[in-house]
Amino acid sequence: MPSPRRRPGGRTARIRRQVLDAVLAELGERGYDGLTVDAVAARAGVHRATVYRRWGDVGGLLADVLDAAGDDAWQPPDTGSLESDLAALNREIQDALTAEPPIVAALIAASFRSEQADHAQRRLWEDRYARCEVIVRRAVERAELPPRTDARRLLIAATAPLYHQLVLLRTPPDPDLPGQAARTATLAASAGAFAEPPPSGDT
């Protein structure tokens, strides 16, 4: 997980917030192909030279938007059971992927077009998966799961149906999908599908 990034305060922080908000608004309205530094600067009420000097280009703007998303205090749900934790997490994902304007989907699409955005999105994914691993640790402690359950593999299995349906297939949101995906992953995990074998030599 990357080390915390120090962010400036005061006027610099205010300008950054204005610019990043403008990036999100422009991306949601126009998509990656319509995103320009000049349009962001105009929308933010900031001189274009300031934007070029600090962010360089559209890739730099998108990377900072994604890095800023990782600076929050978000924590995964803690409902008392693995299945309900995963279902609650999936509902958050579904809400984000179906929100209007479609910012999250637009950022995912932009990461395929911009190397800087791609690297920043990978950092954000790593951060989110690291935060969510506590869901699996708690389930192991409650004896819901076998010891040595691989948290990352389980989390991917639980959340992947949301991205597959909503981003790849672009199907309408299904209110039952978050719970169904959580239930399937929980049943597989409790049966040991994501448990790592003991180290060589253990009995």
- In 10 A of CB 80, how many CB atoms? 9
| Residues 54 and 87 reside in one and the same domain | no
Model pLDDT, residue 37: 96
**Tokens matching residue 185:** 């992953």
Residue 175 lies in a domain: yes
Distance CA 51, CA 15 (A): 10
Residue 196 lies in a domain: no
- For the entire predicted model, the pTM comes to 0.86
**Tokens matching residue 41:** 């600067």
Residue 203 lies in a domain: no
Residue 141 pLDDT greater than 50, yes or no: yes
Residue 186 pLDDT greater than 90, yes or no: yes
| Residues 46 and 124 reside in one and the same domain | no
By 3-state DSSP, what share of the chain in percent is helix, strand and coil, each rounded to 5?
Answer: 65, 0, 30
| Residues 174 and 120 reside in one and the same domain | yes
Q: Of 23, 44, 69, which residue constitutes the final position of a domain?
A: 69
**Tokens matching residue 46:** 């900031």
Question: What one-letter code names the amino acid at 157?
Answer: A
Residue 2 pLDDT greater than 70, yes or no: no
pLDDT tens across 78-133, in order?
999 999 999 999 999 999 999 988 899 889 989 999 999 999 999 999 999 999 99
Distance CA 138, CA 159 (A): 18
Question: What one-letter code names the amino acid at 95?
Answer: D
Model pLDDT, residue 9: 57
State how many domains the chain has. Answer: 2
Write out the residue range of the structural domain in which residue 51 sits: 10-69
Q: Is 37 helix (H, G, I), strand (E, B) or coil?
A: helix
pLDDT band at residue 10 under the 50/70/90 scheme: confident
| Residues 143 and 179 reside in one and the same domain | yes
Model pLDDT, residue 101: 87
Residue 154 lies in a domain: yes
What is the DSSP track for 95-116? Answer: HHHH-SS-HHHHHHHHHTT-HH
Residue 18 lies in a domain: yes
| Residues 46 and 20 reside in one and the same domain | yes
pLDDT tens across 48-74, in order?
999 999 999 999 999 999 999 988 899
Model pLDDT, residue 201: 62
Question: What one-letter code names the amino acid at 16?
Answer: R
| Residues 47 and 102 reside in one and the same domain | no
Residue 172 lies in a domain: yes
| Residues 86 and 184 reside in one and the same domain | yes
Q: What is the CATH number of the domain that holds 25?
A: 1.10.10.60
Tell me the average pLDDT across 138-167. Answer: 97
User: DSSP state, 149?
Assistant: B
Residue 5 lies in a domain: no
Residue 173 lies in a domain: yes
| Residues 97 and 177 reside in one and the same domain | yes
| Residues 35 and 96 reside in one and the same domain | no
- In 10 A of CB 9, how many CB atoms? 8
| Residues 113 and 150 reside in one and the same domain | yes
| Residues 120 and 182 reside in one and the same domain | yes
Distance CA 165, CA 73 (A): 28
Report phi then psi at 77, rounded to 5.
-60, 150
177 and 90 Cβ atoms separated by less than 8 Å:
yes
| Residues 110 and 44 reside in one and the same domain | no
- In 10 A of CB 193, how many CB atoms? 15
Q: Of 69, 90, 111, which residue constitutes the final position of a domain?
A: 69
CA 33 to chain centre: 22
